Amino acid sequence: MSRQQRLIIVLIGSFFGLFILAGVAGFLSGVVSGATGDTSDRPLIWGMGAFAVLAMIGAMAVSVFWMRNIDEAAREAHKSAWFWGGTGGMAAGGVLVILASLPQAESLNLAAWFTDRTDPAAYMATGAFAMLTLMIVGYTLAWVWWWLARR
């Protein structure tokens, strides 16, 4: 079996494994809620927290496997893109963080991306998602530039 075939099998297996893991986490949260009579969201939070930790460990493992199996040019493209694009995106997000820390920013009424929630956790998650989005956009632009410059 070639490296590319192994990589595709691992990626597809990981994708389906993620769905199975989410189902198991939800099921176990329901079992714990039913067994303990706890009607709060605590079992769900612990179950989804465990799912998130396992999903991130799995994502890291798949990333390491993938990075070890691509050729050197592709590896260098991704490293360069993450450094230049990710750093550039984070710098753009940093400008927004600095502006948000000004007292004048209090007059802005920005909705969190999570329905009508206005609690600090919703705003923190919104900011983290926005920063990650900027980093991924920067990475993508730098990755495309890297490959176009070497064609």
Give the end of a domain, one of 24, 49, 70: 70
What pLDDT band is residue 111 in, cutting at 50, 70 and 90? low
Phi, psi of 71 (to 5 degrees): -75, 170
Give the end of a domain, one of 70, 103, 129: 70
53 in the same domain as 79: no
pLDDT tens per residue, range 53-75: 888 888 888 888 888 888 888 89
65 in the same domain as 80: no
C-alpha to C-alpha distance for 116 and 2, rounded to whole angstroms: 49
Per the structure, the complete domain to which residue 149 belongs is given by: 72-151
Percent of the chain with pLDDT over 70: 93
The domain total for the chain is: 2
123 in the same domain as 80: yes
pLDDT tens per residue, range 11-32: 788 778 878 877 887 787 778 7
Query: How many CA atoms within 13 Å lie on the side-chain side of 145?
Result: 11
Residues near 106 by beta carbon (within 8 Å), at least 6 away in sequence? none
25 in the same domain as 64: yes
What pLDDT band is residue 137 in, cutting at 50, 70 and 90? very high
Q: By the 8 A CB rule, do 139 and 81 touch?
A: yes
> Higher confidence at residue 76 or residue 4?
76
What pLDDT band is residue 87 in, cutting at 50, 70 and 90? very high
